């Protein structure tokens, strides 16, 4: 049986054998992949791959890239390794600092690469892998470009159960960035032919809110509510606690002194990840897999258990699966907070329902919903709920159990709970929201998503 090291070398070798030169396009030139790779590695990248913009497997990433840089012909995907021991530490301060500093390194390295490319006549745009993001699109897709599918196509790894890219050598201990260039490359990379994931399921065991499941995938709502408490939606909840409180004593009941100080630190020095344990415990990749296999018990005792047994607050939404799961661990202090989901566009609604979806409330629900908006925003979409999982597709697909046609502005007000029950009924009777099917199904559909206290 091949070792991961042998598989990695074979995969890279096969890539080089199968790489095909691109056809020249009038007005553009081809760049040497060997020269570009050398530049990227010299400037600090730990691995790099190249993907042509026309590759069908990129899907919507092509549109994202061309919107950022209309001359894009090739996407450079590169990674920088993180220090595993820092991220494996029970101290979330050490782990968060490692993430933040590596992201800073990525930005600096990307800018250096772009400068080098400019000197050889290649124009390029470096894409930020993290904040700042376009918060005007909240709670929709706020990042500029999806680095993970690019990395997969560039042969830098495959997506693990924890939704992280698992690099053949570095495993989950690396961070990604992408650079858009105006030149074609003589040789492009291909996806790995094998999966670095070893199926240990330690990522599932480590998550304090039960957000990972082999069949269901990631519970984005649970992950965001806890791990990203100091980011995005968690900040809104904190602000609303301040506004709603009658006095400081009432405010402290909702937000403790330690949480307030933690928030101040996040605003001053960078937000802290509350967990990211699914990364900490992962032994995938040539660098660490032999360490794990040689002493699995030691890995569990020294890495998994200190995280699982760590006494800490766990943030969950009210009446969610995450709350049920977190309460099973006596070492965790469960804090029930408001889940805030207020999309400012229909696209934000359709993207955000994946985050707002609550598997506990969807138990036993099987339905296909055809949604159509008109007015300021016009679109058609299908939402399929089955097996406690939701799937959203463009257009109307299959036979609908429930049909919803709504004025976009009215629908957003309803979703954001800016209207009373009487106003919701009036919207239906006036035809601003039209429902085809049993109104009980509409109520059942609405209950599958997080509410707001």
What confidence score (pLDDT) does residue 135 get?
Answer: 72
pLDDT bucket at 4, cuts 50 / 70 / 90: low
What confidence score (pLDDT) does residue 29 get?
Answer: 60
What confidence score (pLDDT) does residue 338 get?
Answer: 82
What confidence score (pLDDT) does residue 271 get?
Answer: 85
Picking from 359, 235, 257, 280, the residue whose alpha carbon sits closest to that of residue 92 is 280
What confidence score (pLDDT) does residue 22 get?
Answer: 34
Position 9 pLDDT exceeds 70: no
Position 27 pLDDT exceeds 60: no
CATH 3.40.109, the chain: domain bounds: 4-185
The mean pLDDT value of the chain amounts to 89
Picking from 232, 277, 225, the residue whose alpha carbon sits closest to that of residue 95 is 277
Position 13 pLDDT exceeds 70: no
| End-to-end alpha carbon distance in the chain | 55
Position 442 pLDDT exceeds 70: yes
Q: What is the pLDDT of residues 131-177, one digit of tens each?
A: 767 777 766 677 889 999 999 999 999 999 999 999 999 999 999 99
Position 21 pLDDT exceeds 50: no
Alpha helices in 120-219 (DSSP H): 147-153, 202-206
Q: What is the pLDDT of residues 286-327, one digit of tens each?
A: 999 999 999 999 999 999 999 999 999 999 998 999 999 999
Residue 446 parent element (H or E): helix 439-446
Please list, in sequence order, all residues whose beta carbon lies within 8 angstroms of the beta carbon of residue 357, skipping any fewer than 6 positions away: 220, 221, 385, 390, 448, 449
Please list, in sequence order, all residues whose beta carbon lies within 8 angstroms of the beta carbon of residue 221, skipping any fewer than 6 positions away: 317, 320, 322, 339, 355, 356, 357, 358, 450
pLDDT bucket at 347, cuts 50 / 70 / 90: confident
Asked if the 4-185 domain carries CATH number 3.40.109, the reply is yes
Across residues 25-31, what is the average pLDDT? 54
What confidence score (pLDDT) does residue 70 get?
Answer: 97
Give the distance from CA 234 to its chain's centroid.
16
> 3-class DSSP state for residue 107?
helix
Q: What architecture (CATH level 2) is domain 346-446?
A: 2-Layer Sandwich (3.30)
As a whole-number percent, the residues of the chain with pLDDT over 70 amount to: 92
What confidence score (pLDDT) does residue 262 get?
Answer: 86
CATH 3.30.1050.10, the chain: domain bounds: 346-446
Contact 18, 172 (CB under 8 A): no
What confidence score (pLDDT) does residue 83 get?
Answer: 97
């Amino acid at each position: 049986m091949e070792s991961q090291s042998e598989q990695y070398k074979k995969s890279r070798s096969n890539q080089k054998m199968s790489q095909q030169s691109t056809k020249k396009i009038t007005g553009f030139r081809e760049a040497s992949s060997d020269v570009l790779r050398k530049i990227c590695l010299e400037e600090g990248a730990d691995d790099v791959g190249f993907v042509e913009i026309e590759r069908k497997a990129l899907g919507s990433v092509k549109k994202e890239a061309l919107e950022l840089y209309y001359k894009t012909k090739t996407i450079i995907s590169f990674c920088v390794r993180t220090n595993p021991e820092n991220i494996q530490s029970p101290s979330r301060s050490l782990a968060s600092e490692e993430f933040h500093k590596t992201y800073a390194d990525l930005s600096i390295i990307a800018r250096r690469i772009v400068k080098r490319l400019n000197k050889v006549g290649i124009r390029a745009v470096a894409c930020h892998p993290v904040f700042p993001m376009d918060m005007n699109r909240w709670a929709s897709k706020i990042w500029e470009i999806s680095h993970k599918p690019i990395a997969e196509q560039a042969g830098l790894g495959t997506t693990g159960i924890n939704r992280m890219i698992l690099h053949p050598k570095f495993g989950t201990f690396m961070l990604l960035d992408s650079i858009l260039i105006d030149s074609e490359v003589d040789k492009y990379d291909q996806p790995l032919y094998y999966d670095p994931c070893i199926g240990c399921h330690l990522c599932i065991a480590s998550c304090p809110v039960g957000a990972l499941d082999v069949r269901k995938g990631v519970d984005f709502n649970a992950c965001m509510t806890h791990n990203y408490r100091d980011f995005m939606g968690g900040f809104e909840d904190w602000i609303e606690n301040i506004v709603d409180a009658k006095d400081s004593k009432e405010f402290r009941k909702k937000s403790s002194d330690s949480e307030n100080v933690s928030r101040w630190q996040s605003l001053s020095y960078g937000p802290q990840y509350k967990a990211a344990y699914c990364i900490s415990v992962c032994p995938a990749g040539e660098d660490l897999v032999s360490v794990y296999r040689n002493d699995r018990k030691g890995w569990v005792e020294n890495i998994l258990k200190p995280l699982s047994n760590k006494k800490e607050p766990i943030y969950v939404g009210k009446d969610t699966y995450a709350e049920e799961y977190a309460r099973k661990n006596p070492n965790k202090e469960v804090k029930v907070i408001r889940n805030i989901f207020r999309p400012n566009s229909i696209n934000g609604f359709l993207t955000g329902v994946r985050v707002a979806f609550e598997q506990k409330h969807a138990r036993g629900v099987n339905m296909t919903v055809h949604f159509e908006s008109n007015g300021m925003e016009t679109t058609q979409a299908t939402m399929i709920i089955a097996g406690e999982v939701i799937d959203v597709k463009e257009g109307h697909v299959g036979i609908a159990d429930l049909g919803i046609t709504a004025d976009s502005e009215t629908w957003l007000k309803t979703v954001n709970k800016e209207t009373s029950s009487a106003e919701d009924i009036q919207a239906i009777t006036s035809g601003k929201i039209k429902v085809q099917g049993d109104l009980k199904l509409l109520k059942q559909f609405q209950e599958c998503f997080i509410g707001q206290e």
